[in-house]
């Protein structure tokens, strides 16, 4: 990496593909927000944690909910508290500053060192939400009306934004960001991921389990395909339950950890009996 | 010269904006990138493509611009045949050898540009007549020639095979993102997302937002006794009517229409959602069920729903001439109609200024007299994600549809 003193190359508990590492590094150098999209369980949120650990920086997490407003991330002016205090004479209410509470974005701007800001699941919020943040992320500054003061980032934070593609993000917002779509990991990658989580598990068990896992994932007509977190749960269950490898060949123990609704389980039973036992297709 | 890549992408359908292109080029000139095509491919994609739906189009553009193997005038199958079942897999290398290898790699990158390599590759292919394993000149497996698979030439061209040393620069040819193209898939989730755009916010519902102005006024009036005033938060006030064709010619599109239907019923952000069915064309009756048993007079549409309802019609708009233009043209043997379908459709359009027609057939097949005629009454869009988006844009625009005069 040209001039990349602080190169990110994954951390010991997170496996990132080479392309993703390169893009993270470019995002860090150019100080551009990075939008990471992908299926649930592809490790979008963990990426920010991993970057924070690898670069040894503080991580601020702004969890977005359907009711989150862009302003909440900047600051909140606690009017009710001030009104309440105004009734009694024991407090000086002329200083508005004490009623201004910084949101996560505000904190990341006013921090004395560079931080990593994770805006998690931005698509949960209202469709207009990302647009309301355009200027703040572009200029890395915002205005506090009540104080008539400008808050400017002392150190531009590294901004990682994750999206589940529940809603599409506005073009104007995306134009200002780097974009990366995390593909669902293939077998090889998945093996590495499992190794990171459970280093002691037998190779053969993992391989058999993976075969089954991808077979179920490719089954047509499933409402919710199992993802990485389900696989990890399942493998843990298999290992703890001391299931013999031969047993996985003939049936799926703990199916409930992989398929989480009734229709999918029905569908699975129908398909697997139709195929006469378990026919594997290679991915 | 490089700008051609920009136009290539636009031609392939990647919606790259000038702003994105400029920031990409700036970063390029500031020297933040490694000089490798692989790197350029990934970084370029992060800068220029903002949805996985366009990854495939980007792949195509990249492949064409940076000279993919597929565009070379060679018999690819034959070449791939030479590369099957490598005889000698890559030998284990000592750390010194790996160091040497990396040195060579740097050396190679400095002295060769891709253009030259591709030219050599094409020439070599023209000369080569048979399979080669090992060796350092021909296209084959396990050798030290820059071309082929499973070999260890630093920075050469990999033809098929798996990535061995991670140095081949032709990932683009794999087109792994073909399935993400959005002109092909339309699933419930995506449809829901598209429908979510259909909204008009108004202050309705429960009072839960603190109204500061009012609170201060009220408090002042009460002589300092705090009186909190809450106002209603904004809610979607869109009301939708969906009319769907269940005619025989719609059979091939059942699944597609079901997806739209379930997305619309599941989308719980509408103030009201109503649906009716019809058979080929609309006459004096609509139906509440798909089998067309329970009928509702079309007149009810006008008395029950006012002009603020947004109307979406779904159908292929393809029917016999008489079904649209003639009295008693209805396709059902036992039904009669004293007004032609065209009259009914025009009345519906006049009553609901915000209306669109979604057609599940491809635009290329719209050259049909009834499709044309209906397309002049209702603005018609394809039933794809892109078409749906345009339709919703038309539904939410403040101006009435342009076809309306």
Encode pLDDT of A160-209 as tens digits: 999 886 666 888 888 889 999 888 888 888 888 888 888 888 888 888 88
**Stated pTM of the model:** 0.59
Is the Cβ–Cβ distance between B205 and B232 less than 8 Å?
yes
Q: B43 CB near a chain A CB, below 8 Å?
A: yes
Q: What is the mean pLDDT of residues A82-87?
A: 79
With a CB cutoff of 8 Å and minimum separation 6, the contacts of B378 are: B313, B345, B349, B355, B356, B357, B401, B403
The CA distance from A110 to A100, in Å, is 13
Confidence label for B169 from pLDDT (cuts 50, 70 and 90)? very low
CA-based nearest distance B318→chain A, Å = 31
The CA distance from A235 to A257, in Å, is 9
pLDDT of residue B71 exceeding 90, the answer is no
Contacts of A18 in chain B (CB under 8 A): 166
SS3 call for A34 = strand
Per-residue pLDDT, B182 = 47
Separation in Å, CA B372 to CA B205, B257, B282, B365? 43, 21, 16, 11
B66 or A110, which is more confident: A110
Per-residue pLDDT, B123 = 67
The CA distance from A100 to A159, in Å, is 23
Per-residue pLDDT, A159 = 93
CB atoms closer than 10 angstroms to residue A170: 14
SS3 call for A142 = strand
Per-residue pLDDT, A44 = 86
**Which of A44, A69, A175 is the best residue to mutate to test the B interface, defined by the most B CB atoms within 10 Å of its own CB?**
A175
Dihedrals φ, ψ of B67, to 5°? 65, 80
For chain B, how far is it from start to end, CA to CA, in angstroms?
A: 48
Confidence label for A283 from pLDDT (cuts 50, 70 and 90)? very low
Confidence label for A123 from pLDDT (cuts 50, 70 and 90)? confident
Three-point CA angle B4, B10, B12, nearest 5°: 105
pLDDT of residue B310 exceeding 90, the answer is no
The CA distance from A213 to B125, in Å, is 42
pLDDT of residue B259 exceeding 80, the answer is no
**What is the pairing mode between strands B239-245 and B310-314?**
parallel
Q: Residue B101 is encoded by which pair of tokens?
A: 């290898």
Q: B220 CB near a chain A CB, below 8 Å?
A: no
Kindly tell me the burial class for residue B96, based on how many C-beta atoms sit within 10 Å of its own C-beta (0-12, 13-18, 19 or more). exposed
pLDDT tens digits, one per residue of B72-90: 334 444 555 555 554 444 4
Confidence label for B167 from pLDDT (cuts 50, 70 and 90)? very low
**Which of B42, B57, B200, B220 is the best residue to mutate to test the A interface, defined by the most A CB atoms within 10 Å of its own CB?**
B42
Instruction: Provide the CA B195 distance to its chain's centre, in angstroms.
Output: 15
Is the Cβ–Cβ distance between B21 and B48 less than 8 Å?
yes
pLDDT of residue A217 exceeding 80, the answer is yes
CA-based nearest distance B276→chain A, Å = 27
Closest partner CB to B42 (pick from A3, A22, A79): A22
Per-residue pLDDT, B56 = 83
A21 or A118, which is more confident: A118
CA atoms within a 13 Å half-sphere pointing along the CA-CB vector of A192: 12
With a CB cutoff of 8 Å and minimum separation 6, the contacts of A105 are: A62, A73, A74, A117, A133, A136, A142
The CA distance from A1 to B216, in Å, is 58
CB distance B210–A35 less than 8 Å? Answer: no
pLDDT of residue B66 exceeding 50, the answer is yes
CB distance A2–B33 less than 8 Å? Answer: yes
Q: What is the mean pLDDT of residues B308-332?
A: 81
CB atoms closer than 10 angstroms to residue A10: 18
Contacts of A165 in chain B (CB under 8 A): 193
SS3 call for A228 = helix
Per-residue pLDDT, B398 = 57
The least confident of A252-261, B216-225, B323-332 is B323-332
Confidence label for B142 from pLDDT (cuts 50, 70 and 90)? very low
The least confident of A126-130, A137-141, B191-195, B278-282 is B191-195
Q: Is the dihedral of CA B201, B207, B209, B211 positive or negative?
A: positive
pLDDT of residue A1 exceeding 50, the answer is no
| Tokens 């931005």 sit on residue | A122
Q: B271 CB near a chain A CB, below 8 Å?
A: no
Per-residue pLDDT, A208 = 84
Contacts of B52 in chain A (CB under 8 A): 37, 181
Confidence label for B325 from pLDDT (cuts 50, 70 and 90)? confident
CA-based nearest distance A167→chain B, Å = 6
CB atoms closer than 10 angstroms to residue B76: 13
Is the Cβ–Cβ distance between A36 and A163 less than 8 Å?
yes
Query: Which of A141-145, B65-69, B113-117, B288-292 is modeled with the greatest confidence?
Result: A141-145
CA-based nearest distance B266→chain A, Å = 14
For chain A, how far is it from start to end, CA to CA, in angstroms?
A: 34
The least confident of A17-31, A126-140, B163-177, B348-362 is B163-177
Q: B185 CB near a chain A CB, below 8 Å?
A: no
Q: What is the mean pLDDT of residues B61-69?
A: 72
B190 or B34, which is more confident: B34
CB atoms closer than 10 angstroms to residue B392: 20
Is the Cβ–Cβ distance between B350 and B363 less than 8 Å?
no
Per-residue pLDDT, A60 = 93
CB distance A127–B197 less than 8 Å? Answer: yes
**Which of B14, B46, B201 is the best residue to mutate to test the A interface, defined by the most A CB atoms within 10 Å of its own CB?**
B46
Q: B223 CB near a chain A CB, below 8 Å?
A: no
Query: What are the strands of the beta sheet with B355-359, ordered from one edge?
Result: B295-297, B285-287, B272-278, B239-245, B310-314, B355-359, B380-382
Contacts of B47 in chain A (CB under 8 A): 178
Bridge partners (DSSP) listed for residue B236? B201
Give the chain B residue nearest A167 (alpha carbons): B193
pLDDT of residue A34 exceeding 90, the answer is yes
Instruction: Provide the CA A58 distance to its chain's centre, in angstroms.
Output: 17
B383 or A250, which is more confident: B383
CB distance B43–A29 less than 8 Å? Answer: no
Contacts of B238 in chain A (CB under 8 A): none
Q: What is the mean pLDDT of residues B143-163?
A: 46
Q: What is the mean pLDDT of chain B?
A: 71
pLDDT of residue A39 exceeding 90, the answer is no
Per-residue pLDDT, B188 = 57
The CA distance from B262 to B240, in Å, is 14
pLDDT of residue A119 exceeding 90, the answer is yes
pLDDT of residue B394 exceeding 50, the answer is yes
CB distance B55–A168 less than 8 Å? Answer: no
CB distance A26–B176 less than 8 Å? Answer: no
Per-residue pLDDT, A201 = 82
Give the chain A residue nearest B179 (alpha carbons): A183
The CA distance from B168 to B156, in Å, is 6
Q: What is the DSSP letter of B279?
A: B
Q: Please provide the size of chain A in residues.
A: 283
CB distance B31–A3 less than 8 Å? Answer: yes
Per-residue pLDDT, B160 = 45
Gyration radius from chain B CA atoms: 31
Contacts of B176 in chain A (CB under 8 A): 183
Instruction: Provide the CA A270 distance to its chain's centre, in angstroms.
Output: 34
CB distance B176–A183 less than 8 Å? Answer: yes
CB distance A167–B226 less than 8 Å? Answer: no
Confidence label for A5 from pLDDT (cuts 50, 70 and 90)? very low
pLDDT of residue B276 exceeding 50, the answer is yes
Per-residue pLDDT, B74 = 40
Q: Which helix (H) or strand (E) holds B44?
A: helix B37-48
């Amino acid at each position: 990496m040209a001039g990349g003193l602080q190169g990110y190359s994954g951390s010991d508990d997170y496996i990132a593909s080479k392309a993703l590492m390169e893009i993270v590094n470019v995002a860090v150098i150019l100080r551009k927000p990075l939008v990471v999209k992908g299926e649930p369980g592809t490790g979008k949120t963990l990426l920010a944690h991993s970057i924070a650990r690898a670069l040894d920086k503080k991580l601020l997490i702004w969890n977005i909910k359907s009711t989150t407003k862009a302003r909440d991330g900047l600051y909140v002016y606690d009017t009710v508290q001030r009104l309440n205090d105004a009734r009694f004479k024991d407090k000086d209410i002329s200083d508005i500053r004490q009623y201004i509470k910084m949101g996560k974005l505000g904190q990341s701007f006013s921090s004395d060192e560079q931080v990593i800001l994770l805006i998690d699941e931005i698509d949960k919020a209202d469709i207009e939400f990302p647009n309301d943040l355009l200027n703040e992320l572009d200029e890395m500054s915002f205005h506090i009306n009540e104080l008539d003061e400008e808050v400017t980032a002392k150190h531009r934070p590294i901004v990682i934004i994750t999206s589940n593609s529940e809603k599409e993000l506005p073009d104007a917002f995306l134009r200002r960001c780097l974009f990366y779509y995390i593909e669902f990991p293939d077998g090889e990658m998945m093996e590495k991921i499992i190794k990171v989580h459970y280093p002691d598990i037998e190779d053969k068990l993992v391989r058999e389990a993976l075969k089954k896992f991808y077979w179920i994932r490719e089954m047509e007509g499933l409402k919710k395909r199992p993802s990485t977190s389900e696989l990890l749960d399942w493998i843990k269950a298999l290992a703890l339950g001391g299931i013999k490898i031969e047993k996985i060949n003939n049936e799926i123990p703990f199916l409930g950890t992989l398929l989480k609704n009734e229709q999918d389980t029905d569908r699975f039973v129908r398909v697997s009996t139709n195929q006469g036992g378990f026919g594997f297709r290679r991915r | 010269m490089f700008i051609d890549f920009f136009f290539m992408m636009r031609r392939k359908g990647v919606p790259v904006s000038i702003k994105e292109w400029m920031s990409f080029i700036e970063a390029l000139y500031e020297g933040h990138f490694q000089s490798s095509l692989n790197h350029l491919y990934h970084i370029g994609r992060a800068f220029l493509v903002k949805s996985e739906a366009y990854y495939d189009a980007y792949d195509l553009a990249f492949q064409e611009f940076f000279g993919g193997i597929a565009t070379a005038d060679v018999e690819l199958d034959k070449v791939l045949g030479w590369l099957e079942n490598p005889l000698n897999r890559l030998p284990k290398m000592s750390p010194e050898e790996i160091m040497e290898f990396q040195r060579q790699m740097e050396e190679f990158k400095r002295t060769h540009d891709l253009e030259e390599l591709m030219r050599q590759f094409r020439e070599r292919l023209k000369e080569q007549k048979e399979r080669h394993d090992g060796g350092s000149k021909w296209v084959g497996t396990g050798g030290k020639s820059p071309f082929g698979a499973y070999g260890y030439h630093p920075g050469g061209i990999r033809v098929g095979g798996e990535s061995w040393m991670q140095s081949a620069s032709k990932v683009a040819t794999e087109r792994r993102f073909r399935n993400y193209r959005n002109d092909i898939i339309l699933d419930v989730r995506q449809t829901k997302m598209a429908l979510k755009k259909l909204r008009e916010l108004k202050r309705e519902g429960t009072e839960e937002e603190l109204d500061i102005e009012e609170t201060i006024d009220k408090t002042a009036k009460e002589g300092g006794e705090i009186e909190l005033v809450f106002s209603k938060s904004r809610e979607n006030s869109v009301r939708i009517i969906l009319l769907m064709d269940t005619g025989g010619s719609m059979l091939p599109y059942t699944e597609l229409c079901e997806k739209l239907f379930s997305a619309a019923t599941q989308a719980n952000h509408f103030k009201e959602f109503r649906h009716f069915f019809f058979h080929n064309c609309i006459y004096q009756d609509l139906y509440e069920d798909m089998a067309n048993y329970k009928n509702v007079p079309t007149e009810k549409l006008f008395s029950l729903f006012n002009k603020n309802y947004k109307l979406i019609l779904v159908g292929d708009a393809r029917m016999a001439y008489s079904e649209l233009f003639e009295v008693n043209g209805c396709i059902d043997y036992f039904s009669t109609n004293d007004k032609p379908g065209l009259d009914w459709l025009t009345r519906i359009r006049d009553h609901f200024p915000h209306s669109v027609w979604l057609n599940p057939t491809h635009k290329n097949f719209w050259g049909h007299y009834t499709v044309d005629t209906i397309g002049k009454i209702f603005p018609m869009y394809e039933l794809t994600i892109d078409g749906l988006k345009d339709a919703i844009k038309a539904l939410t625009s403040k101006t009435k549809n342009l076809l309306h005069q």
